[in-house]
Amino acid sequence: MIRRSTWILVGLFIIVLVVALYLQRSDRQTGAEATPTSGVSYLFDGLEGDIQSLNISAAAGDTVEVEGGPDGSWTLVEPAGQQADETRIGSVVSQVQNLQVVSELGDPPALNVIGLNPPAYRLAVTGADGQERVAFIGDVTPTESGYYAHREEGPVVVVSKAAMDSLLGLLETLPVVTETPAATAEVEGTGAPEGTATPAETAQP
ω into 119 cis (within 30 of 0): no
Name which residue leads in pLDDT, 15 or 159: 159
pLDDT of 33 higher than 60: no
SS3 content of the chain, % helix, strand, coil (to 5): 25, 25, 45
Spatial CA neighbour of 150 closest among 165, 134, 161: 134
The secondary structure of 97-120 as a DSSP string is HT-BEEEEESSPPPTTTTTBTTBS
Strand spans (E) along 5-92: 34-36, 53-58, 63-68, 74-78
pTM: 0.67
Q: Taking Cα atoms as reference points, which of 147, 138, 144, 146 lies closest to residue 117?
A: 138
Mean pLDDT, residues 149-154 taken together: 87
For the cut 50, the answer to whether the pLDDT of residue 15 exceeds it is yes
Mean pLDDT of 95-116: 90
pLDDT digits 0-9 by tens, 107-148: 889 999 999 999 999 999 998 888 899 999 999 999 998 999
